[in-house]
Amino acid sequence: MASVMRISDLDRELAARRLCDAASVGVLSVSELEWRLDRVLSAATHGQLEALLLDVPAPRSVRGSPVARWLRAHIGAFLIVNGGLAAIWAAAGFGYFWPVWPLIGWGMLISGHAYAAHLVQEGEKA
């Protein structure tokens, strides 16, 4: 039943991305990639997309995706820098806890980044 359901532009985009990933590692030739991309862009149902992706390996795990690596790098930088600021605060005599401001600001940015990465992850699973 799902194979006759209509697809969205996001479905087409994710299928095209999967085909491009397969071509980038040598699973598909350039001519076959072009042929399949033409059909992905004109596909109307899930069944048509599934037929084009049937012999293409499953996408990499999200843990190894560029978005996940990017997020881990930013969280690592956040912890190192803010840990250093807390160490400076402690070495200065534990007065007013001024590192709270970079912690809050950067923490809000990291939270937004994590949420965006979650949305990308959900899109890749679809």
Count H helices, E strands: the chain?
A: 5, 0
Residues 98 and 77 in one domain: yes
Give the confidence band of 62 by pLDDT, cuts at 50, 70, 90.
very low
Which residues, at least 6 apart from 117, have a Cβ–Cβ distance to it below 8 Å?
67, 68, 70, 71
Range of the domain at 37: 2-53
Q: What's the chain's average pLDDT?
A: 86
Q: Are residues 78 and 119 in the same domain?
A: yes
Instruction: Specify whether 32 is located in the same domain as 74.
Output: no
What percent of the chain lies above the pLDDT cut of 90?
Answer: 48
pLDDT at residue 60 in the model = 62
Does residue 51 register a pLDDT over 60?
yes
Q: Are 5 and 46 in contact (CB under 8 A)?
A: yes
| DSSP summary character for residue 59 | P
| Residue count (the chain) | 126
pLDDT at 30 over 50: yes
Total number of domains in the chain: 2
The structure's pTM equals 0.48
* Phi–psi pair at 96, nearest 5 degrees: -60, 135
The residue assigned the tokens 């190894």 is 64
Same domain, 34 and 16: yes
